[in-house]
Amino acid sequence: MTRSELIAGLAEDNPHLTLADVERIVSSFFDEMTAALARGERVELRGFGAFTVKHRNARAGRNPRTGEAVEVAQKSVPFFKAGKELRERINKPISAPAAKKNGVKS
């Protein structure tokens, strides 16, 4: 799902909001999450998961094309851990369609 698909879906589910309103809400949501992570804060969405920042130490690496040794700088990367409810919903078996009896759906 892309950002524009998310916005379109939310606008469809909330006809009282204009597409522009939904775009502003989604942008504000992501801006707030990004700002919190940039401050080193944890962003937790109960039932969905938690976003944190992990720090990667500097290390020696290799250029895959030339094989030359290079120094990879220290960096921070976003990390997501799925919540229990999200994991359960993703792993829930998909129910099979109802069986037909004599050509009639039951």
- Give whole-number Cα distances, 52 to 11, 42, 75, in Å: 29, 5, 14
User: At the top level of CATH, which class does the domain 42-87 belong to?
Assistant: few secondary structures
Q: Please determine, for residue 71, whether its predicted confidence score (pLDDT) is greater than 60.
A: yes
Q: Could you tell me which residues come within 8 angstroms of residue 78 by beta carbon, excluding any fewer than 6 positions away?
A: 37, 51, 52, 53, 54
Say how many CA atoms lie within 13 Å of 83 toward its Cβ.
11
pTM greater than 0.75 (yes/no): no
Q: What percent of the chain has pLDDT over 70?
A: 89
Confidence of residue 97 (pLDDT cuts 50, 70, 90): low
Q: How far apart are CA 11 and CA 52, in angstroms?
A: 29
Q: Please determine, for residue 56, whether its predicted confidence score (pLDDT) is greater than 60.
A: yes
Measured N-to-C along each axis, helices 3-13 and 19-38 cross at an angle, to the nearest 10 degrees, of 130
Q: How far apart are CA 74 and CA 25, in angstroms?
A: 34
Q: How far apart are CA 61 and CA 90, in angstroms?
A: 36
pLDDT digits (tens, 9 = 90+) for 74-87: 999 999 999 999 99
